[in-house]
Structure 1
Amino acid sequence: MAAPRWLTPVPAADIARGDGPQFCEFTEQFCRITKDSIGGAAGTRIRLRPWQRTLAGQLWARRPDGRLRHRTALIGTPRKNGKSAVGAGIGLYGLSFGPSGGEVYSIAADKDQARIVFGVARRMIELEPELSSAMRVYRDAIELPATGSVYRCLSAEAYTKEGLNPHLVIADEVHAQPTRELWDVMRLASGSRLEPMMVGITTAGVKTDSTGGDSLCYTLYQYGLKVVSGEIADPTFFLAWWGAPDDANHRDPATWAQANPGFGDIVGAEDFQASVLITPESEFRTKRLNQWVATAQAWLPGGAWEACADPRGPIPDGTEVVLAFDGSFNNDSTALIAVTVPAGGELPYIDVVASWERPTGSGNDWAVPILDVEEEIRRACRRWQVREICCDPFRWARSYQILEDDGLPIVEFPQSPQRMVPATQRFYEAVMNRQVAHSGDPRLARHIANCVIKVDNRGSRIAKDARHSPRKIDLAVASVMGLERAMAEPEPEPAEPQFFSWADL
Structure 2
Amino acid sequence: MPWRGPSYPGELPTLGWSVLDWMGEMLATPDRSEYEPLVLTREQARFVLNFYALHPATGRRKYRRGVLSRPKGWGKSPILAAIACAEALAPVVPDGWDAAGEPVGKPWAEVRTPWVQLAAVSEDQTRNAWAPLLEMLREGPAVDEFLGLEPLETFVNLPKGRIEFVTSAATSREGNRPVFCVLDQTEEWTGSNGGRKLAATLRRNLGKTGGTSIESPNAFVPGRGSVAEESAEYWKRIREGRARDDGLLYDHREAPPETDLTDRESLLAGLAHAYGDSAEPAGGWVDLERLIAEIWDPATDPQNARAYYLNQITHATDSWLSQPEWAACAAPEKVVADGDTIVLGFDGSRRRNRGVTDATALMGCRVSDGHLFQVRVWEQPDGPAGDGWEVPVAEVLAEVDGAFRRWKVIGFYADPAKWESHIASWEANYGGRLRVKSSQAHPIEWWMTGGRANAIVRATRSLHDAVVDRELTHCASGALTRHVLNARRRESRAGIQIAKEHPDSPRKIDAAVASVLAWQCRLDALAKGETTKERSGAVYFM
Deviation at 1:484, TM superposition (A): 2.5
**Residue identity opposite 1:79 in structure 2:** K
Normalising by structure 1, what TM-score?
0.65
Which among 266, 270, 289 is matched to residue 255 of structure 1? 270
- Where does 1:232-247 land on structure 2 (aligned, <5 Å)? 242-244=253-255
Which among 179, 186, 190 is matched to residue 167 of structure 1? 179
Give me the whole-angstrom Cα distance separating, in 1, the residues matched to 2:521 and 2:240: 40
Q: 1:299 to 1:465 in 2, by over 3 A?
A: farther
**Residue identity opposite 1:414 in structure 2:** T
- Where does 1:11-410 land on structure 2 (aligned, <5 Å)? 18-24=18-24, 26-28=26-28, 32-33=30-31, 51=41, 54=45, 58=49, 72=64, 74-92=67-85, 95=88, 101-108=113-120, 110-112=121-123, 115-117=126-128, 119-120=130-131, 124=135, 135=150, 137=152, 141-144=154-157, 147-154=159-166, 160-173=172-185, 178=196, 181-182=200-201, 184-191=203-210, 198-205=213-220, 215-216=230-231, 219=234, 242-244=253-255, 251-260=266-275, 261-264=277-280, 265-277=284-296, 284-290=305-311, 297=319, 299-301=322-324, 303-307=327-331, 310-314=334-338, 316=340, 321=343, 323-327=345-349, 329-330=351-352, 331-339=357-365, 342=367, 346-352=368-374, 355-359=377-381, 361-362=384-385, 365-368=388-391, 389=413, 391=415, 408-409=442-443, 410=445
1:471 corresponding residue in structure 2: 507
Q: 1:358 to 1:69 in 2, by over 3 A?
A: closer
Q: Secondary structure of 2:471's partner?
A: coil
Residues 165 and 190 in structure 1, CA contact (< 8 A), matched pair in contact too: yes
Q: 1:327-360, CA deviations, whole angstroms, 9 ceiling, x for partnerless residues?
A: 45431123344445x4xxx234545555443355
**Residue identity opposite 1:486 in structure 2:** R
Give me the whole-angstrom Cα distance separating, in 1, the residues matched to 2:397 and 2:74: 55
2:464 corresponding residue in structure 1: 428
Q: 1:7 to 1:313 in 2, by over 3 A?
A: farther
Give me the whole-angstrom Cα distance separating, in 2, the residues matched to 1:222 and 1:374: 26
2:98 corresponding residue in structure 1: none
1:502 corresponding residue in structure 2: none
Q: Which moved more, 1:244-253 or 1:372-381?
A: 372-381
Deviation at 1:188, TM superposition (A): 1.7
Percent pairwise identity:
19
Q: Secondary structure of 1:169's partner?
A: strand
Q: 1:127 to 1:429 in 2, by over 3 A?
A: same
Deviation at 1:9, TM superposition (A): 2.7
Q: 1:202 to 1:379 in 2, by over 3 A?
A: closer
| Structure 1 residues not aligned, in runs of 5+ | 34-39, 227-233, 493-505
**Residue identity opposite 2:278 in structure 1:** G
Q: 1:143-165, CA deviations, whole angstroms, 9 ceiling, x for partnerless residues?
A: 42x72532222359666544433
Deviation at 1:362, TM superposition (A): 4.9
**Residue identity opposite 2:361 in structure 1:** A
Deviation at 1:311, TM superposition (A): 0.6
Asked if residue 484 in structure 1 is aligned to residue 520 in structure 2, the reply is yes
Q: 1:122-151, CA deviations, whole angstroms, 9 ceiling, x for partnerless residues?
A: 8759997997x974747xx4142x725322
Asked if residue 414 in structure 1 is aligned to residue 449 in structure 2, the reply is yes
**Residue identity opposite 1:172 in structure 2:** D
Deviation at 1:22, TM superposition (A): 4.4
Give me the whole-angstrom Cα distance separating, in 2, the residues matched to 1:288 and 1:58: 26
In our comparison, the structure showing a higher alpha carbon Rg is 1
Q: Secondary structure of 2:309's partner?
A: helix
Please provide the CA RMSD for this pair: 5.7
Give me the whole-angstrom Cα distance separating, in 2, the residues matched to 1:460 and 1:164: 49
Give me the whole-angstrom Cα distance separating, in 2, the residues matched to 1:381 and 1:88: 58
Deviation at 1:81, TM superposition (A): 1.6
- Corresponding pairs, count: 453
Normalising by structure 2, what TM-score?
0.61
Q: 1:50 to 1:127 in 2, by over 3 A?
A: closer
Q: Secondary structure of 1:184's partner?
A: helix
Deviation at 1:45, TM superposition (A): 6.5
Give me the whole-angstrom Cα distance separating, in 2, the residues matched to 1:272 and 1:388: 49
Q: 1:469 to 1:154 in 2, by over 3 A?
A: farther
2:94 corresponding residue in structure 1: none
Deviation at 1:181, TM superposition (A): 2.9
